[in-house]
Amino acid sequence: MVDVSIIIVALNAVELLEECLASVFEQSSGVTFEVIYVDNASTDGNSDIVKTRHPSVRIIQNERNLGFARANNQAIRVAKGRYVLLLNSDTLILDNSVMRIVRFADQHPEAAVVGGRVLNPNRTLQRNCLTFHSLTQIFLGATCLHKVFPRFASERMSWWDYNEVRAVDVIVGCFSLVRREAFAQVGLMDEDYFFYCDDRDWCYRFRKAGWKVLFTPEPRIIHYGGQTSQKAADRFVLQLYGSRLQFMQKYSSPIIFHLSRFLTALHFFIRAPFWVMKGLVDSGDRARCLQTARTFVRGGMYSLFNWTRLLMNRDEVFGEH
């Protein structure tokens, strides 16, 4: 058994994937590891390039985009490591951080999940620790009061500087080390989440089973971010809020869930007029602004009357057409 199975899921963006893999092999001394690459139906030759340049990488080729959770589960099922490290394809590992995060996890056997410091390309902090969703948080975000009460509204813990080891609710899945004993107990990622909230759901289940989720600032990566979602930004906005509603439906009462739907609709409806006005004022960006406004109106209507239409994979999850 190797120390860690490094799992990378990608859809296109072959240049970033190649940089990510290069950093993995350069910055993983001091541990035994394997790399498993899951190709979610890329069209730019990712698998062939990986096979040629990194022959030791195990490749799982999908014929269609299965989403983040399902693709990671494919790799976890064949992984041989004591840990699995979920690593986004648009990341760069720094300072031998694979060894650093594995060493920290070995020193903290109570932790199911360990996350390290994530940096933007300009080396500023990218907040990768989240809180679990709550009705209060959704209300403050929908009504634009989140800046007035950031401690209660910020899901990314904006009041904290990320400079010390800390137990948190959620580690974002772009750089997330998970202990084999922990996922053997609670199960793999919930594949009903196509994109977003799969990491939050998994951490919730770990926490409920008595495990800890820990952040440590010493391991570091750079995360470019949004390389998949930017290509279909409006659709991914709807998916984000749909995934949040999935989480609320799964773990809250029917009353709280329906209130969450109403507040999600309010969030969309309040913001749609802003995008209309911005589009009327800014002729150079009018098409994008008006498209965003239409997306927000659709999001509000879906949230109220048929919330599963927010989801990209609703046919598979709910059997709807």
C-alpha to C-alpha distance for 260 and 244, rounded to whole angstroms: 9
pTM: 0.92
Tokens of 45: 């030759």
Helices (H) and strands (E) in the chain, counts: 12, 12
Q: End of a domain among 179, 200, 223? A: 223
Does residue 291 contact residue 278 with C-beta atoms inside 8 Å? no
Residue where a domain terminates, one of 223, 245, 266: 223
**How many structural domains is the chain composed of?**
2
- Give the Å distances, CA to CA, from 18 to 6, 90, 110: 15, 9, 34
Residue that finishes a domain, picked among 223, 241, 269 = 223
Range of the domain at 262: 230-318
CA neighbor of 138 nearest in space, from 129, 149, 127, 128: 149
**Tokens at residue 40, please?**
């979610």
Residue 107 sits in the same domain as residue 25: yes
Question: Is 219 in the same domain as 235?
Answer: no
CATH number of the domain that residue 87 is part of: 3.90.550.10
Distance CA 236, CA 292 (A): 12
Judgement on whether residues 240 and 287 belong to the same structural domain of the protein: yes
CA distance 260 to 256: 6
**pLDDT tens per residue, range 249-258:** 999 999 999 9
pLDDT digits (tens, 9 = 90+) for 173-231: 999 999 999 999 999 999 999 989 999 999 999 999 999 999 999 999 999 986 555 55
Q: 206 with 258, same domain? A: no
Whether 142 and 235 map to the same domain: the answer is no
- Residues 214 and 265 occupy one common structural domain: no
pLDDT of residue 217: 97
Clarify whether residues 71 and 211 are in a common domain. yes
